[in-house]
Structure 1
Amino acid sequence: MTTAQPTYREVVDENGRVYRIGETDRDILGRSRVWMVWLPWISMMAISSSEYAFTSAEDTLADAHGWHGSHIFWLLGVWVFFQAAVAFPAGRLRESGKLSARAAMMLGGAGSLMGYLALAFAPNVFWAYVGFGFFGGAAAGFVYATCVNMVGKWYPERKGGKTGFVNGGFAYGSVPFIFIFTSYMDVSNYTGILFATGVLLASLVAVSGFFFKDPPKNWWPAHVDPLGASTDPRIARALRKNPPAKKQYTPMEAVKTGILPLMWFVLLCTAGINIFGIAMQVPFGKEMGFAGGIVALAMSLKAIINGTGRGVIGWISDRYGRRETLVIVCLVLGAAQFAVYFSGSIGSMPLFLLASMVSGFGGGAIFPLFAAMTADYFGENNNATNYGLVYSSKVISGLVGAGLGSVVVSNWGYGSAFIIAGSVGIACAFITLFLRQPKLPVSEQTTTPTDRPGSKDREATASLALD
């Protein structure tokens, strides 16, 4: 048995960006990088029920604990607040090396379990806010940030479809629990169902996360030439429509471009619309006279389309460009809000189901687009931190979409709330036209792609055992 050290070299493109080439995914992982798609996907499905299925348990939790109905919406808002709030610090810890991907996933699994235990056994609503809102939300944030950024690092040459696929698990993974919480859970069995759900989903997160591993900084797939045209037409088209970032931007550099703050604002608005739909669709459907089963079906279809749409939209953005795709998605998301309200107000069940699916598609598609776009604009090395900054807008959008949304409904009615949401979505489509990859300052531009000055083939840190 001998051990061979695979070599790598660093090359520099015309913009001065460094690429580490020569190592394969198997050299680093010991297996195909597709594992870093399937495992994050499983973990994302496991944490999705906390957001997408939670309001399906609204009536049971309110009856069992004696909570006022508004607490359910504010609990979801607090959960979303902490899920988004940890994105930046978690990314900072991950990129600095102080928190490994495996450790982040273990924390996520433990916190997820605490969230379900709080819903089942909290003696009062305060402990529900602490257990589910704080610990459960923060845990989901650790898992979400780790999974989304992991797949982008392993597929830097064609990240849209893969990122969308992993991101999609965050929605349709909740579908079984929407039906369980709506159709089978009541005050006589809610503690057992919530406990079993928490143990199952936390275990999936922990076991999947145990195998997580990041690639080296600046890593690029060995079979794709970062300085020349790819022989694979799919990769060539994706890189032409969404070229790699011109440099690896630090968070402060990304903020100073002005593009990242604009992305933050657009995601704040669109994520708020998505969370508003998640929180309000069930009570709106019931108030419009639809049976509980129909409302559960509509919510399930919304989650399914929300999730599958993320994968499809990622693939589309690889072919036609992220910004162009995002413009269409914002228009669809905004128009869907008008359709949901119109269909409910006239009592049309088929139209209500269709509008719910369209709304779910638009609401889900925004997240993988922003995740991939952040890496396209600012690079992969600091993507966990940079996307954490963009994603932190959900801190506000969660409270606005769920909490403030319920206030608007209480005072002005569903009609005003859905009209406001739809108008904001359409406005975001026009704002998105101003998003573009930042240009390098003249002082940082280079002219000739080359090997990194002074560098040569070097031994990689990973080793490969050969017979």
Structure 2
Amino acid sequence: MASSSSDNYAQRAREQLGFSRWWLIVAAAIAMAVVSPYQYVWSSIEGPLARDLDIPLTQLGLVFTLFVIFQSGSQFPVGWWRDRHGPRGITLVAATLAGGSYLGLAYATAVWQLYVLYSLGAIGVGIVYTVSVNTALKWFPDRRGLTTGAGTMAFAGGAALFVPYVRANASLGGYSVVLRNMGFVIGIAIVIAAVILRDPPANWSVDNMTDEAQYSRHDHTWREVLSTWQFWVMYGIFVTVSGAGLMLTAKIVLFAQRMELNAVTATMSATLLPIAGGVGRLLMGDLSDRVDRQKAMAASFILCGLGLFAVVWFGQTNSSFGFIVSVVVATFFWSPQYTLFPTIVADYYGETHSSANYALLYSGKMWGGIFGGAVTAWLATATSWVTVFNIGGVFAICGGLAALVLRPPTDNSHSAGDAVRSRSLSSDE
């Protein structure tokens, strides 16, 4: 978009808020950063938890799958509520769930308690995620890729602050203190974000709507979204690519151990993985604002698949340096899916119902999580971890090729007046 249009958006936002709209991105990023351990620290935390409870590590295999199911599945009702009632109240609920569940982990004495606590915490993470991502979409229609990338970068990169702390305090005696401290940090940070976050008026950006074909002038409801073929192609891509990436995230430490790489390599891989993911989300999101978004998606996912093949190759050849670099490359190009998909959903279907619409697509992460958790464990037992990681590479490449067929819905020709009417009608749903 033109610089004058961006300046106009910024000025209109300041009139509504009384301060720069970028502070909303800062608040959203802080909330995203503190909930990131639920996804990105699990590979470091599951071993000590199993030792604390004196149970086989295999009994915790379901925990990550439950996290993905509840985090993804909660987002549609959360998004529907947020689009109608705003982000503040629901974000305070997230502070209780996400912070309180980590506190509870410190006192867990049975594996079923881990299942329950991690699932409740996952709902809190889902709330924070949908609120944060859609804050960017609603306030920054001119910089969707960059601002969504900033929030999702914090979700990936924030874990890098926790991984060294967790792995350095993995003793039986000190682990409960680690979990309690993390719970307090998570809860307090989300409360602070809740005080700052808010949504714009329904029609505040209509006067600035772009004439570019890739942006929708009609705000689709979730029912309308489901009737388009583009959504179902994106859903298939989301499932395959998230499956490949979540496998990498959840199993990288275990895979390094199975390849008989040293402990330093496993720790470096787990530490650099969220950093690479965070940087990838920001840079690829910004790039997608400047080039064709569909081509950016295709290139990113294909390169992710090639990176996964390289992880296997260097693992088999026992090259620690090559292994770490390959993990960084695969994650750098996988992780932007969580920036590129919400922006393209807003491009195609408008921002008024973006929370609910993107939540529909994000539900595909449930299936990806089932593959990345329980299915990969079963496949590894039936075949090998090398086979499993190669399958992940194939999934990512297939998703990248499928992105090339995406096109904006034909009803992008609706007028700006239609968008205003759509917003007014949405309150009757």
Q: TM-score, structure 1 length as denominator?
A: 0.85
Aligned residue among 375, 390, 394 for 2:361: 390
How many residues align? The count is 414
Aligned residue among 210, 217, 223 for 2:195: 210
Q: Which residue of 2 aligns with 1:175?
A: 160
Q: Which residue of 1 aligns with 2:352?
A: 381
Q: Deviations over 1:328-356 (max 9, x none)?
A: 01101111111111111110011001001
Measure the CA separation in 1 of the matches of 2:406 and 2:271. 33
Q: What secondary structure is seen at the aligned counterpart in 1 of 2:19?
A: coil
Per-residue deviation at 1:50?
1.1
Q: Which residue of 2 aligns with 1:12?
A: none
In structure 1, the gaps of 5 or more residues are: 1-19, 229-239, 455-467
Matched ranges for 1:63-462 at <5 A = 63-97=51-85, 100-132=86-118, 134-220=119-205, 225-226=208-209, 240=212, 243-440=214-411, 445=414
Aligned residue among 44, 47, 52 for 2:32: 44
Per-residue deviation at 1:287?
2.1
Measure the CA separation in 2 of the matches of 1:366 and 1:294. 26
- 1:59 maps to 2:47: yes
Measure the CA separation in 1 of the matches of 2:354 and 2:381. 40
Q: Which is further off, 197-206 or 145-154?
A: 197-206
Contact kept, 8 Å, 1:114 with 1:135, in 2: the verdict is: no
Q: What secondary structure is seen at the aligned counterpart in 1 of 2:336?
A: helix
Contact kept, 8 Å, 1:106 with 1:205, in 2: the verdict is: yes
Contact kept, 8 Å, 2:137 with 2:144, in 1: the verdict is: yes
Q: Deviations over 1:433-462 (max 9, x none)?
A: 121110029xx856xx789999xxxxxxxx
In structure 2, the gaps of 5 or more residues are: 1-7, 422-429
Q: Deviations over 1:59-113 (max 9, x none)?
A: 211111123212333201111110000111101111232xx30112111111112
Distance 1:31 1:65, change over 3 A: same
Contact kept, 8 Å, 1:160 with 1:318, in 2: the verdict is: yes
Structure with the greater relative contact order (CA < 8 A, sep ≥ 6): 1 or 2? 1
Q: Which amino acid in structure 2 is aligned with residue 226 of structure 1?
A: M
Per-residue deviation at 1:406?
1.2
Q: What secondary structure is seen at the aligned counterpart in 2 of 1:431?
A: helix
Measure the CA separation in 1 of the matches of 2:414 and 2:47. 60
Measure the CA separation in 2 of the matches of 1:331 and 1:414. 21
Per-residue deviation at 1:322?
1.3
Q: Deviations over 1:367-425 (max 9, x none)?
A: 10001010000000000000000001111211111111111112211111011111111
Measure the CA separation in 2 of the matches of 1:76 and 1:452. 40
CA-based RMSD: 2.2
Specify which structure has the higher proportion of helix. 2
Measure the CA separation in 2 of the matches of 1:285 and 1:294. 7
Q: What secondary structure is seen at the aligned counterpart in 1 of 2:142?
A: coil
Identity %: 26
Q: What secondary structure is seen at the aligned counterpart in 2 of 1:307?
A: helix
User: 4+ residue stretches of structure 1 with deviation over 6 A?
Assistant: 20-23, 449-454
Q: Which amino acid in structure 2 is aligned with residue 381 of structure 1?
A: T
Q: Which is further off, 65-74 or 77-86?
A: 65-74
Measure the CA separation in 2 of the matches of 1:71 and 1:136. 19
Q: What secondary structure is seen at the aligned counterpart in 2 of 1:380?
A: coil
Q: Which amino acid in structure 2 is aligned with residue 393 of structure 1?
A: G
Per-residue deviation at 1:30?
1.3
Measure the CA separation in 2 of the matches of 1:289 and 1:216. 56
Distance 1:450 1:122, change over 3 A: closer
Q: Which amino acid in structure 2 is aligned with residue 130 of structure 1?
A: V
Per-residue deviation at 1:117?
2.5
Per-residue deviation at 1:144?
0.2
Q: Which residue of 2 aligns with 1:34?
A: 22
Q: What secondary structure is seen at the aligned counterpart in 1 of 2:219?
A: coil
Q: TM-score, structure 2 length as denominator?
A: 0.92
Distance 1:445 1:160, change over 3 A: closer
Distance 1:94 1:286, change over 3 A: same
Per-residue deviation at 1:57?
1.4
Q: Which residue of 2 aligns with 1:464?
A: none
Q: Which amino acid in structure 2 is aligned with residue 59 of structure 1?
A: G
Contact kept, 8 Å, 1:302 with 1:358, in 2: the verdict is: no
Measure the CA separation in 2 of the matches of 1:451 and 1:376. 16
Contact kept, 8 Å, 1:43 with 1:143, in 2: the verdict is: yes
